[in-house]
Chains A and B, each alone.
Chain A
Amino acid sequence: MRALAGGTELVPLMRDHLVEAEMLVELREVVPRGIEGTRIGAGTTLAELEVDPQIPKALREACRLAASPQIRSMGTIGGNLLQATRCWYWRLKFPCWLHGGERCLAKAGAHREHAVFGNERCASAHPSDPAAALVALGARLRTSERELAVEDLYRLPTDDDRATVTLGPGELILELDVPAPEASTYLKAMDRKAFSFPLVGVAAARTGGETRIALSGVAPIPWKLDSLDEATPLPGTAFKLEIARALVDRALAEVGA
């Protein structure tokens, strides 16, 4: 049994037999949708978020630059946070480390779209643009079980537990709380002008003199950035660091850090 919101992620995963489910539970009646001040229902679509002036710019831009208009009209913010990686080895069901295998096939294989951080065991890249924005904004989540920071939704997979999210079985994201920053932005480098997952996305948010930066497309999870010098690029992903340097500088300048 799986929960179905917009279906833009679940349906393709099922089609590729990456997710098997006998039954899908429609969430539209259960999960809130809409924006009220800093609170966002998890069922709110990306298309609704990208145009709402109450939403901080980083999140608006991250939504606007994600996917295509059709997908943004269906895809929900809650579902977006739970997207699986686009790693081609994982998507094609190679017996890779993330699928429980011995080793990451991307590291010695084709990996131009892969990670530069947190890639010791698995070089997959997290595809969500909004997730990085929410981490930079210090957003929090309310689930059916608890409250937590968005960054705590994610964990680097380990040998013992290869999951990249901390949600328990049956736990649903219900609502987000996105505090308003003084300034924020999201800059994205992608292979084409639209409808492409991030090579590098940089979210920056300044709140009370502190600026937080988070990156998309550079690690198995949305990556809260301390220093670019900690990166461990692969031969084919070093270019991402060069892009990240430029975009981080631009984002910092834009939010007035």
Chain B
Amino acid sequence: MARLIKTEKEVEGNYSETWVVVEEDALDQWPAGPLTTVGREATRVDGAERAGGEALYTADLTFPGMLHVAVLRSPYSRARVRSLDLAPALEASGVRGVLGPGDVDALTDEPGYVGAPVAAVAADTDVQARAAVESISVEWELEEPLVDPDEAVEQKAFLREPRRYERGDLDRALSEADVVVEAEYRTQVALHNCMEPHGAVCRWVGDTLEVYISTQFIWGVRSDVAEALGLPEDRVRVVCEFMGGGFGSKNGPREHTYVAAELAKRTGRAVRCFNDRREENLDAGNRNATIQRLVAGARADGTLTALGGEFVNAVGFRGFSASTSGPMQMLYACANVRTTEYGTKLNVPPNAAFRAPGFVEGTFGLECLLDELAAKLEVDPLELRRKNHADSDLLDDRPFSSKNLLDCYRRAEPHWERRHDVRARTEGPWKRGVGLASQIWYGGGGPPSYAWVRVGSDGRVTVVTAMQDIGTGTRTAMAQIAAEELGVPLERVRVELGDSARGPYASISAGSSTTPSMGPAVRAAAADAARQIVEIAAQRYDLEQRVLSLKDGNVVSANGGSWSLEEVTGLLEDGQILGKGARGPNPTGMRVLTFGVQVAEVAVDVETGEIRVERVAAIHDVGRIINPLGARSQIEGGIIQAVGYALTEQRIDDPATGIPLTRTLDAYKVPTIADVPEIVAEFIDVPDEHLTNLGSKGLGEPPIIPTAAAIANAIRDATGADVHSLPITREEMLRALREARERSRDEVAAPTT
């Protein structure tokens, strides 16, 4: 029966209460451990199609007569359009339509950052559109931009009220602590640089707008576009069959959709609006810079008694102030915590969610601070973390639905033990060391999400749901879940997704929520189909339903009979079995979180500041693993992206004007394959007994969270130097080494007392 409940919905750590209709999650969880298909390695069901270039991404789509859009973007961080002459663009060759500020909300005549869209031109070819954009003459009135986050705090230039959190009495705890450490950490602006840039193709078919878009949330785009254009939602069809990466930056329609939709309406053509790589590096969202001023206090025995932090998030002209203080509030059982978070409004490009927004930045600060504390306490860093393990959620005293972080620590021991051998391999200027850091994050998913399962008379299975596979291997995982429940081999299952007109509502693919939101719905739909197959078989073979089950492509009786699935479904001829399933509610009164620990090994050339990350071992607790191969890919991808964040990636802006200077991939340096360390991925793989019929949590974000801190802590282990800002460039490494040398010189010079 459908049940109306009020439930807490969480995406990327943002909680909201909403009414949802849920169906009971009546299925018992499968037993722990590898099953027939679930828990076994499966190569991607669409791997050959994607590798062979047959899969069509949104960026690949063409339609007859399709027009190409180029966007005029603000070259200034803060300016007003005094006058704008679109006429030359309208007269330029191949141009079919031009939009200026106000024609759609996404185009502005008061840009607040470099890259803000001002005007747009649709032409027969991309080259014509770009040439026409260059012919638009604009007279700008420049204003003084605000680009310094500390200055923004002073001026109270906030996107939201400062967020304050306090438990216990931090000041007293600090005054009573045996050891106190303080440090300031800085993190950089990092760019998603998805392989497929942001963009959409729009066309009108009658009174229906078709939006083909590279997106993480088909249904969110549908409702946003419908609302903005004043259309009923079922007059907006959103399609995304294959997707080339989002990492949080593709949760909404953005300007591409609105510009393309309006130009499609005006021209009667299909219209394509996509970022090029330079635009992608300017205005496609980013992980904003932060300044973190942190303090920690502990008793001599290593009990953490005080944690405090002031976090300045340099959010940008728009965007959201992510929970940079979250790890400090949640990771350890510390009684006295006080955090203040400022979300500053600056004349720099707006941020967007980026793979565990806030927690990646905050974990770098917190976990580096914890190692500085461990060094001062002369306590083993792993021991310090164990000692301060949080047994329940300290934010509102809720139990965890499951938490196996202590198991992660135990599994980390052999990797942590390697530090003695690693240090011994120090030679010449190359110093080696090992560091670790813990991870906490959300990832429980939630309702609503739906799936349908169709079984034909040939015994083949199709899962239908209007979700998106953002490149994480969701298609494969969903096929495995359906195959397991229906007792058929994986190759008999197809997954049809990516089209709001051709399947039921499905969750956003953000906040590590796809598998925990969609998986239980797919299993429920498959179970509904399985039940019907059993009912048919029971009638056909005159058996009780309870003795029948589906296994290895057969309907099997406990009394010994066995019939192939096709034999049973074959009775249907043109008929089909249709199962439907929904995601049930989350456990009430419990905190659903993911946990993990990573151990990094580095080598540092102390003369040149070169850093090599040689090995990262990752142990994560995300409940049941559906596809160990796909899960390892997530770990590898997360760690590679984290190595870039830790060592090489930074958007560099002109300090006075805020104009971004790194707009190409030679200047904005993502890791090359030569920069990738050996990666060892391990999972606890124990289902969360309180969470859905699967017991699975999400894994997209956890692996990127602790890596930068683990690398920084390994650097300290190798060299004694405390790095305090990301990325750890040559200059930051050499600065930290110099500081460490001066410190040890001072210590030697100090008189013994």
CA distance A86 to B655 in the complex (A): 18
CA distance A109 to B207 in the complex (A): 52
**Which residues of A sit under 8 angstroms from B647, Cβ to Cβ?**
192
Tell whether A110 pairs with B653 under 8 Å between CB atoms, given A193-B674, A242-B734. yes
**Which residues of B sit under 8 angstroms from A239, Cβ to Cβ?**
609, 730-731, 734-735
Could you give, for residues 178-207 of chain A, a 1 whenever the CB lies within 8 Å of some chain B CB and a 0 otherwise? Answer: 000000000001011111110100000000
For the complex, count residues of A whose C-beta is within 8 A of B: 26
Q: Is B675 a contact partner of A243 (Cβ separation < 8 A)?
A: no
Among the listed A108, A110, A189, A247, which residue makes an inter-chain contact with B652, where contact means beta carbons less than 8 Å apart?
Answer: A110
Could you give, for residues 720-753 of chain B, a 1 whenever the CB lies within 8 Å of some chain A CB and a 0 otherwise? Answer: 0000000001110011000000000000000000
CA distance A88 to B731 in the complex (A): 19
CA distance A195 to B663 in the complex (A): 16
**Which residues of B sit under 8 angstroms from A189, Cβ to Cβ?**
608, 610, 730
Tell whether A88 pairs with B652 under 8 Å between CB atoms, given A192-B669, A192-B672, A196-B669. yes
Could you give, for residues 73-116 of chain A, a 1 whenever the CB lies within 8 Å of some chain B CB and a 0 otherwise? Answer: 00000000000001011011000000000000100111010000
Interface SS of chain A: helix, strand, loop or mixed? Answer: loop
- Nearest-neighbor residue (CB-CB) of A246 within chain B: B607
Confirm or deny: B572 has a beta carbon within 8 angstroms of a beta carbon on chain A. no
Among the listed B429, B610, B729, which residue makes an inter-chain contact with A112, where contact means beta carbons less than 8 Å apart?
Answer: B729
- Nearest-neighbor residue (CB-CB) of B673 within chain A: A194
Among the listed B609, B667, B672, which residue makes an inter-chain contact with A193, where contact means beta carbons less than 8 Å apart?
Answer: B672
CA distance A105 to B669 in the complex (A): 22
Among the listed A86, A91, A108, A196, which residue makes an inter-chain contact with B656, where contact means beta carbons less than 8 Å apart?
Answer: A108
**Which residues of A sit under 8 angstroms from B429, Cβ to Cβ?**
246
CA distance A247 to B429 in the complex (A): 12
CA distance A193 to B647 in the complex (A): 11
Q: Is B672 a contact partner of A246 (Cβ separation < 8 A)?
A: no
Could you give, for residues 214-246 of chain A, a 1 whenever the CB lies within 8 Å of some chain B CB and a 0 otherwise? Answer: 000000000000000000000010010011001
Q: Is B730 a contact partner of A194 (Cβ separation < 8 A)?
A: no
Q: Is A92 a contact partner of B663 (Cβ separation < 8 A)?
A: yes
Minimum distance in angstroms from A66 CB to a CB of chain B: 12
CA distance A165 to B65 in the complex (A): 48
Q: Is A86 a contact partner of B729 (Cβ separation < 8 A)?
A: no
Interface SS of chain B: helix, strand, loop or mixed? Answer: loop
**Which residues of A sit under 8 angstroms from B607, Cβ to Cβ?**
243, 246
Could you give, for residues 103-138 of chain A, a 1 whenever the CB lies within 8 Å of some chain B CB and a 0 otherwise? Answer: 001001110100000000000000000000000000
Q: Is A88 a contact partner of B608 (Cβ separation < 8 A)?
A: no
CA distance A243 to B737 in the complex (A): 13
Confirm or deny: B666 has a beta carbon within 8 angstroms of a beta carbon on chain A. yes
Q: Is B669 a contact partner of A86 (Cβ separation < 8 A)?
A: no
**Which residues of B sit under 8 angstroms from A191, Cβ to Cβ?**
648, 669, 729-730
CA distance A245 to B137 in the complex (A): 50
**Which residues of B sit under 8 angstroms from A196, Cβ to Cβ?**
666, 669
CA distance A92 to B609 in the complex (A): 29
**Which residues of A sit under 8 angstroms from B675, Cβ to Cβ?**
192-194
CA distance A189 to B669 in the complex (A): 15
**Which residues of A sit under 8 angstroms from B735, Cβ to Cβ?**
239
Minimum distance in angstroms from A14 CB to a CB of chain B: 13
CA distance A65 to B647 in the complex (A): 19
- Nearest-neighbor residue (CB-CB) of B276 within chain A: A15
Confirm or deny: B662 has a beta carbon within 8 angstroms of a beta carbon on chain A. yes
Confirm or deny: B654 has a beta carbon within 8 angstroms of a beta carbon on chain A. yes
Q: Is B674 a contact partner of A247 (Cβ separation < 8 A)?
A: no
CA distance A242 to B608 in the complex (A): 7
CA distance A68 to B673 in the complex (A): 11
**Which residues of B sit under 8 angstroms from A109, Cβ to Cβ?**
654-656
Q: Is A110 a contact partner of B655 (Cβ separation < 8 A)?
A: yes
Q: Is B669 a contact partner of A112 (Cβ separation < 8 A)?
A: no
**Which residues of B sit under 8 angstroms from A89, Cβ to Cβ?**
654, 661
**Which residues of B sit under 8 angstroms from A236, Cβ to Cβ?**
731
Tell whether A192 pairs with B648 under 8 Å between CB atoms, given A110-B661, A236-B731, A239-B734. yes
Minimum distance in angstroms from A74 CB to a CB of chain B: 15
Minimum distance in angstroms from A220 CB to a CB of chain B: 18
Q: Is B661 a contact partner of A88 (Cβ separation < 8 A)?
A: yes
**Which residues of A sit under 8 angstroms from B734, Cβ to Cβ?**
239, 242-243
CA distance A109 to B657 in the complex (A): 9
Confirm or deny: B456 has a beta carbon within 8 angstroms of a beta carbon on chain A. no
Minimum distance in angstroms from A181 CB to a CB of chain B: 24
CA distance A108 to B653 in the complex (A): 12
**Which residues of A sit under 8 angstroms from B326, Cβ to Cβ?**
none
> Which residues of chain B (407-452) have a CB below 8 Å from chain A?
429
CA distance A68 to B735 in the complex (A): 30
Minimum distance in angstroms from A33 CB to a CB of chain B: 26
Q: Is A197 a contact partner of B666 (Cβ separation < 8 A)?
A: yes
- Nearest-neighbor residue (CB-CB) of A199 within chain B: B730
- Nearest-neighbor residue (CB-CB) of B661 within chain A: A88
Confirm or deny: B671 has a beta carbon within 8 angstroms of a beta carbon on chain A. yes
Could you give, for residues 72-86 of chain B, a 1 whenever the CB lies within 8 Å of some chain A CB and a 0 otherwise? Answer: 000000000000000
Could you give, for residues 633-656 of chain B, a 1 whenever the CB lies within 8 Å of some chain A CB and a 0 otherwise? Answer: 000000000000001100011111
**Which residues of B sit under 8 angstroms from A105, Cβ to Cβ?**
654
- Nearest-neighbor residue (CB-CB) of B727 within chain A: A191
Q: Is B674 a contact partner of A194 (Cβ separation < 8 A)?
A: yes
CA distance A194 to B734 in the complex (A): 21
- Nearest-neighbor residue (CB-CB) of A236 within chain B: B731
Q: Is B654 a contact partner of A110 (Cβ separation < 8 A)?
A: yes
Tell whether A246 pairs with B608 under 8 Å between CB atoms, given A92-B663, A110-B654, A112-B652. yes
CA distance A199 to B669 in the complex (A): 13
CA distance A236 to B671 in the complex (A): 23
CA distance A239 to B728 in the complex (A): 13
B609, B648, B666, B671 — which one has the most chain A CB atoms within 10 A of its CB? B666
B610, B656, B669, B731 — which one has the most chain A CB atoms within 10 A of its CB? B731
> Which residues of chain A (48-73) have a CB below 8 Å from chain B?
68
CA distance A239 to B732 in the complex (A): 9
Q: Is A88 a contact partner of B656 (Cβ separation < 8 A)?
A: no
> Which residues of chain B (489-503) have a CB below 8 Å from chain A?
none
Q: Is A192 a contact partner of B674 (Cβ separation < 8 A)?
A: yes
CA distance A91 to B662 in the complex (A): 10
Q: Is A88 a contact partner of B672 (Cβ separation < 8 A)?
A: no
CA distance A109 to B661 in the complex (A): 10
CA distance A246 to B729 in the complex (A): 17
Q: Is A243 a contact partner of B669 (Cβ separation < 8 A)?
A: no
**Which residues of A sit under 8 angstroms from B731, Cβ to Cβ?**
112, 236, 239
CA distance A240 to B608 in the complex (A): 9
Minimum distance in angstroms from A64 CB to a CB of chain B: 12
**Which residues of A sit under 8 angstroms from B612, Cβ to Cβ?**
193
Q: Is B730 a contact partner of A86 (Cβ separation < 8 A)?
A: no
Tell whether A195 pairs with B730 under 8 Å between CB atoms, given A110-B655, A239-B609, A247-B608. no
CA distance A236 to B729 in the complex (A): 12
**Which residues of B sit under 8 angstroms from A199, Cβ to Cβ?**
730
**Which residues of B sit under 8 angstroms from A68, Cβ to Cβ?**
672
Could you give, for residues 596-625 of chain B, a 1 whenever the CB lies within 8 Å of some chain A CB and a 0 otherwise? Answer: 000000000001111010000000000000
CA distance A86 to B661 in the complex (A): 11
CA distance A191 to B731 in the complex (A): 10
**Which residues of A sit under 8 angstroms from B610, Cβ to Cβ?**
189
**Which residues of A sit under 8 angstroms from B654, Cβ to Cβ?**
89, 105, 109-110
**Which residues of A sit under 8 angstroms from B667, Cβ to Cβ?**
86, 88, 91
Sort A-B residue pairs by CB-CB distance and give the 6 closest, nearest first. A193-B674, A246-B607, A88-B661, A239-B731, A194-B674, A194-B672
Known: A195-B666, A246-B607. 7 other contacts (CB 8 A): A86-B667, A110-B655, A189-B608, A192-B672, A193-B672, A239-B731, A247-B608
Q: Which residues of A contact B (CB under 8 A)?
A: 68, 86, 88-89, 91-92, 105, 108-110, 112, 189, 191-197, 199, 236, 239, 242-243, 246-247
The 28 listed contacts between A and B (C-beta, < 8 Å) are A68-B672, A86-B666, A88-B652, A88-B667, A105-B654, A108-B656, A109-B654, A109-B655, A109-B656, A110-B653, A110-B654, A189-B608, A189-B610, A189-B730, A191-B648, A191-B669, A191-B730, A192-B671, A192-B674, A193-B672, A195-B666, A199-B730, A239-B730, A239-B731, A242-B609, A242-B734, A243-B730, A246-B607
